[in-house]
A and B are shown apart, each in its own frame.
Chain A
Amino acid sequence: AAEKWDLYIYNPVATVAAAKGMSAVAEQIEKDTGGELSVRMHLGGSLPINTTTITQAVSDDVVQMGDDGYFLGNVPIGGVLRLPMLIRSLDEYKKAADIMAPYLEKAFEKKGVLVLGQYLYPYQVAFSSKKLTSLADIKGQKIRVTSPEQGEFIKRLGGVPVTLGAPEVPSALDRSIVDGVLTANTGGGNTWKDLLKFNYRLGINYFNSVVIVNKERFNKLSPEIQAKVRKAVADNMPLITKAMADEEDNLSKKFAEGGMTVTEQQPGDLDVGTKAISAYWDEWAKSKGPDAAAALKQVRAALGR
């Protein structure tokens, strides 16, 4: 009999590159398997399941497949790839990601979840409604962050990290409860652009999302179908990453044309930022256990940082 899977993605917007790419994955699976396996995609929020619990939803077979960008609560070790100022270019990211892959897979597998692939958002950068043309401008500004690691970074630069749910961000920006946000152009930047006047393009960290499946359900598939599922994911991941990277530059132009002050990274700020946060990297790893400490050590050695 034909197998039916549900795919839950954290992204609520159907028109963004990541959602389109996942939809392409679902279509390709259905087509390549000749309908033997059909995958129904649910957009973020269309099921009342928190996007931070997608790992659990896949692990518990509530949905069989997930596009999971918010897994750090479930797989804390993944945070190595998101430590502020640790990774400075796509090449460095690839090196680090190769080192981290076995660690990530092991951590997910412990929960009965298989990682089939991942794609990458461009750098998360700082946006603000107040003057923000260098790292020093962060001082005294209230910045909305999405992870404790980013919070620590803002704190060490003299800013005030604020945690807010995404729905509350527009009104909080509007009434200056927060001054700015850390996000990528393709994401919060585009959604909240009307309320933001400055964009400082110093890359703080990348944001990766993993495509996961329930291990037991996956292993029940025939080897041919398994291969086709793996191929559909593998085919589309680089396309998503590339589409978002292309979009990023276009959006920057669009923001500048709309009147936003977009400032490229200032010389020296990379070192200022790294100096502020580097002591925290080890602190962070220590608090996440021996595996994290070992992984971070390997990554730092590979990057020479």
Chain B
Amino acid sequence: MAPDGAVHFIDNVSSGPGPMENASEAICALFLMAMIVLIGAEAIARNLFATSLQITDEIGGYLLVAMTFLSMSVAEAHGAFHRVELVQARLGHSARLVSQIVFDLMSLVASALITWQLTRLVMNSWRSEDVAPTPLQTPLWMPQTTMAIGMFLLCLALLRTILTKTRRLRGSAQ
């Protein structure tokens, strides 16, 4: 059974979480609780004290961005992404591993390209000193950095998955 409760018909080889993924997971959990506290505070401020924090939808958006990107590597390391198992279930052990390594390599290339673009976005925002048009005037590079970091960690997690699968493949070949 996979860690997210799903049962797979085929063996889902994953690297298992490392310290980076565990840290990301804890940060995401923290952000999730922060979201609840923030929204609760806004609701209380508005309904009991007739005032508004004026930051909830802004910070809420940033927290969601961070959660989206930082949770990707966590899901990858736990093997929580799902696949159509139609063809996979019909392949032999080695063929399945080889095909998955090829997929992971393609995913790695796409993720690396996205990481490059996200990094460029952060640098651009930093260089041109863009801020959010809100009372907080948050410099945009700060929340945007979580996207680049998350994507980069996903690349690392994919690399580890590929290594794990290659090792398995060698092990079964001997």
Contact A160 B133 (CB under 8 A): no
| Contact partners of B52 in chain A: CB under 8 A | 142, 160-163
Residues 59-81 of A contacting B (Cβ, < 8 Å): 59-60, 70, 72-74, 76
Contact B133 A72 (CB under 8 A): yes
For residue A189, give the distance in angstroms from its CB to the closest CB of chain B: 21
Instruction: Tell whether A160 pairs with B50 under 8 Å between CB atoms, given A56-B125, A60-B124.
Output: yes
Contact B133 A147 (CB under 8 A): yes
Contact A163 B54 (CB under 8 A): yes
CB < 8 Å: which of B46, B50, B130 contacts A74? Answer: B130
How many residues on chain A are close to B (CB under 8 Å)? 25
The reply on A111 being an interface residue by CB < 8 A is yes
| Contact partners of A53 in chain B: CB under 8 A | 130
Q: When chains A and B are docked, how far (Å) is the Cα of A60 from the Cα of B124? A: 8
For residue A289, give the distance in angstroms from its CB to the closest CB of chain B: 10
| Contact partners of A56 in chain B: CB under 8 A | 124-125, 128, 130
For residue A141, give the distance in angstroms from its CB to the closest CB of chain B: 10
Closest A residue by C-beta to B42:
A162
Q: When chains A and B are docked, how far (Å) is the Cα of A56 from the Cα of B137? A: 16
| Contact partners of B133 in chain A: CB under 8 A | 52, 70, 72-73, 147-148
For residue B141, give the distance in angstroms from its CB to the closest CB of chain A: 11
The reply on B131 being an interface residue by CB < 8 A is yes
| Contact partners of B85 in chain A: CB under 8 A | none
Chain A residues in the interface with B (C-beta under 8 A): 52-53, 55-56, 59-60, 70, 72-74, 76, 110-111, 140, 142, 147-148, 151, 160-165, 177
